[in-house]
Structure 1
Amino acid sequence: MPQLRRFAQVDVFSAVPFRGNPVAVVLEADGLDDEQMARIANWTNLSETTFVLSPTDPAADYRLRIFTPRRELPFAGHPTLGSAAAWLDAGGTPARDGRIVQECGAGLVDIRRGGPASPSAETPETLAFAAPKRLRTGELDEAYVDDIARALGIDRSEILDHQWVDNGPGWAAVRLASAEQVLALTPDFSAIPDAKLGVFGAHPEGSEHEYEIRAFVPGVGVGEDPVTGSLNASVAQWLIGAGLAPDSYTTTQGTALGRAGVVSITTEESASATTSADPAVWVGGATSVCIRGTVTA
């Protein structure tokens, strides 16, 4: 029988509510099967909808399943932070002071609270997750880089670096010379419709933020993701590990879509060695619970 379950919609990676990336969160989701979860996620039509369940690992505070409108993901960044914010807002209490441990398809993920913590949406809470290990690294095949350049509508020579940065969703990433170039892109992915591609470039010297990044995901039904934690996490692991970026920096994302996303990158040890990669990267941003209610499912 369907039952009322608590529901939230959370804005992630923006200090201004409704200017980041939304995620739908179904709390108390025990008892829902795969088909029901997939149907709800297809109906919400957000880039991700999550379901909070009882953990199976005693080290975890809760278990999370993450669905796009078309498929399930083992891990995604803004749903991780948004779900943690919804769980806390609904009265969840972590076993460890200041730390939440999430169980998901990628394993255990540490989440830390950075404050300010307030029930008011006008004072968003800052949360950060420890980036999971990358599943695939290394340079892209040159033929794929050529395809990416054509899809982006740029010359191949404008791609300065490229890398697999996959921590679950399947990300590849390319670096352009400037944020201005990134924002000017009007890509056509008809030749590579299943691409999951991050494109980033540096802001001018002296800017408040280091990079502008865009996430193109034509194959999951949203085209371009407004602000993307998983992509920022694995790009940071690549750049910091290769000495191409400072140990701590901020990235803007969503500008081309009228959003105001800011992602904070820091490097320090995770509470659990099983959840961090080398280097140990934390990915953070502001979260605001914008909708609270119930869903019948």
Structure 2
Amino acid sequence: MTQIRIYQVNAFTHLPFGGNPAGVVADADGLTEREMQQIAREMNCTETAFVLSSEVPNADLRVRYFTPQEEVDLCGHATISAFAALGLEQRFGGELPRTVIIETKAGLLPVMLSRDAEERLQVVVTQAAPQFRPCDLTRAEAATLLGLDESDLDPERPLGLAYTGLWDLMIPIRTLDAFQRMRPDLDAIAASNRRLGVTSTHCYSFETVEPTSHLHTRNFSPAVGIPEDPASGTANGALAAFLLQHGVLTPEREQVRLIVEQGFECDRPSFIHVELDGEPRSPRTARVGGGARPVFQGTMSF
């Protein structure tokens, strides 16, 4: 019988029932790919992170990410959750702040670890270099996918595809009321995401619930087994890069700092901090970060 230590950690929150839950196996060396997929399905979080040793020069460790349905190249919230679990195991020694290099299928990525004024761990993940692709989805088609009218989409904001580790479809929404009225057709969204070659459909608005937030988002990823994601680190990093690429954001001293709120419609309020380096229409580096709240830990036997 195999036994592993396993955690559930809520990322992008310090509240026990907020944020985005991720499973974490802090020592996954020796597990097969099939076992990782089965463990992720058993945990049934949006993603489960598996921390392994890395043989790549300059990498401190390797992380693989599985939804209940399949492996994905990168996951921001699961990375934050993984380091919260590693902190519980005292796997990274030395003083903070410090930077750890992780090997992922999206490349070697720096992760900055620090503590806030209340000594809570803060994790900032550098994402893959931004990329963009044209999109042939019309606004009318996008509205239909979400159960909305075309008039609910913001005509002044761009619709398109962006990448900072995973490809996502960005859809601009005019109002918070439209977010609450969404009735997404998950089968149609899954088919659309597969056709476009994206992981998620990511909806955004500049109208927010909290006055300190800059953007409000919802994320649907049914093609990879996630009906709705309450906090999407990778997609929100890609969104910031997308908005800078289209000239919507204006950086101060070549840096944009945003707070993105998500998860309100599924009763898991989350706040994702996004930093973006670059100039208008020329984003360079996106980083996403936040805190995490461990919820439980235990032993899985199989």
TM-score normalized by the length of structure 2: 0.85
Alignment correspondent of 2:24: 25
C-alpha separation in 1, matches of 2:65 and 2:25: 10
How far did 1:245 drift? 2.5
Alignment correspondent of 1:185: 182
Residue in structure 1 matching 2:295, options 290, 293, 297? 290
Distance 1:131-1:168 versus aligned 2 partners, 3 A rule = closer
C-alpha separation in 1, matches of 2:140 and 2:227: 20
C-alpha contact (below 8 Å) 2:148/2:181 kept by paired residues: no
C-alpha separation in 2, matches of 1:79 and 1:209: 22
Residue in structure 1 matching 2:202, options 198, 205, 209? 198
Alignment correspondent of 2:196: none
C-alpha separation in 1, matches of 2:84 and 2:117: 10
Alignment correspondent of 2:77: 78
Aligned AA for 1:282?
R
Alignment correspondent of 1:132: 128
How far did 1:117 drift? 8.2
C-alpha separation in 2, matches of 1:34 and 1:260: 32
Distance 1:133-1:179 versus aligned 2 partners, 3 A rule = farther
Q: State which drifts further: 97-106 or 44-53.
A: 97-106
C-alpha separation in 1, matches of 2:45 and 2:33: 18
Deviations 1:28-59 (A, max 9, x none): 11111111111111111111111110012131
C-alpha contact (below 8 Å) 2:164/2:286 kept by paired residues: no
C-alpha separation in 2, matches of 1:92 and 1:133: 28
Alignment correspondent of 2:67: 68
How far did 1:206 drift? 9.2
Deviations 1:196-233 (A, max 9, x none): 20001112699211111000112233311111101001
SS at match of 2:283: coil
Distance 1:206-1:284 versus aligned 2 partners, 3 A rule = closer
TM-score normalized by the length of structure 1: 0.86
C-alpha separation in 2, matches of 1:117 and 1:207: 22
Alignment correspondent of 1:114: 114
Residue 153, structure 1, aligned to residue 164, structure 2: no
C-alpha separation in 1, matches of 2:57 and 2:300: 28
Deviations 1:106-137 (A, max 9, x none): 1111111232287xxxx642211112124x51
Deviations 1:92-119 (A, max 9, x none): 126895112111111111111232287x
Identity %: 27
Residue in structure 1 matching 2:271, options 244, 247, 262? 262
Residue in structure 2 matching 1:226, options 211, 227, 230? 230
Number of residues of Structure 1 aligned to a counterpart in Structure 2: 283
C-alpha contact (below 8 Å) 1:193/1:218 kept by paired residues: yes
The equivalences for 1:273-288 within 5 A come to: 278-288=283-293
C-alpha separation in 2, matches of 1:212 and 1:204: 5
How far did 1:242 drift? 3.1
C-alpha contact (below 8 Å) 2:97/2:115 kept by paired residues: no
SS at match of 2:167: coil
SS at match of 1:240: helix
C-alpha contact (below 8 Å) 1:166/1:172 kept by paired residues: no
Alignment correspondent of 2:253: none
How far did 1:193 drift? 2.5
Alignment correspondent of 2:91: 92
SS at match of 1:108: strand
Alignment correspondent of 2:54: 55
Which consecutive residues of structure 1, in runs of 5 or more, have no partner in the other structure? 270-276
Residue 217, structure 1, aligned to residue 247, structure 2: no
SS at match of 2:78: helix
How far did 1:182 drift? 2.4
C-alpha separation in 1, matches of 2:107 and 2:266: 32
Distance 1:206-1:226 versus aligned 2 partners, 3 A rule = closer
C-alpha contact (below 8 Å) 1:117/1:125 kept by paired residues: no
